A and B are shown apart, each in its own frame.
Chain A
């Protein structure tokens, strides 16, 4: 997998309250040399943006305590953060509609597949490379 800039990994935010899902996704992202930050609910994720943190991609669960994924996505967009790729992730049947209505770029059902994660990271890298040209 090509990096867009040597020594500049893709910054990924995982928004997930279930430790097992966080561990599996983190392990997949580490294989692509991503820099990973974890938020345990939507409110923590929004707080990170309020603190000025920047991410290239967000993987966001739907149902979480304090603040749900779709609600967090709406708030993140309201902050003007429209450059970051937002991926909704859930095992629920009705999650796709909720995520896309909230403004997610993509929806991926659980369990996540390594090939799917790889393709998404490569897409982010390609976009960053094109933006730099």
Chain B
């Protein structure tokens, strides 16, 4: 685990790993952080949360249209799938895979239902990520 991350933060991450919210890819991200990139994990998960929120907004708009373009919907889902695979957000990634099946079937109802699931799963992981970052920041302030 990265020596630059505080114990409390690592504990938080371990809890997310044990519940299946994150997979081993997140552990690999932690290993990328070092003295030359001390804020790497914080920046990565911040970007994931921002990109993910934007993508979910776009998916909502796309599925709200009278005539849904399932190729466009799938393209947005692929983006979120890629981002979630990159940070190790396993449940988000798996939900995206289910979503893509409904896109292939051109099932609006299936897509809408999966979007609801995606929102829940995404905001669960992004909420926990934000809590982890806040904890990291508080601990950094405390040791100054």
Contacts and interface: CB of A to CB of B under 8 A. Distances in A.
Interface of A: 17-21, 23-24, 27-28, 30-31, 61-63, 90-92, 110-114
Nearest to B45: A20
A113 B40 CA distance: 16
Interface of B: 25, 28-29, 31-32, 36-37, 40, 43-44, 47-48, 50-51, 75, 78-79, 81-83, 85-88
Given A18-B79, A20-B86, A63-B78, A114 B28 contact: yes
Contacts of B81: 91-92
Contacts, number: 60
Contacts of A18: 51, 79, 82-83
A60 to B, nearest CB: 13
A23 B75 contact: no
Contact of B82 (A27, A28, A91, A113): A91
Contacts of B25: 111
Contact of B32 (A19, A62, A114): A114
Nearest to B50: A19
A110 B87 contact: no
Given A18-B83, A20-B87, A110-B85, A28 B47 contact: no
A94 B75 CA distance: 12
Given A20-B51, A24-B29, A24-B44, A91 B85 contact: yes
Contacts of B48: 20
Given A20-B48, A63-B79, A110 B37 contact: no
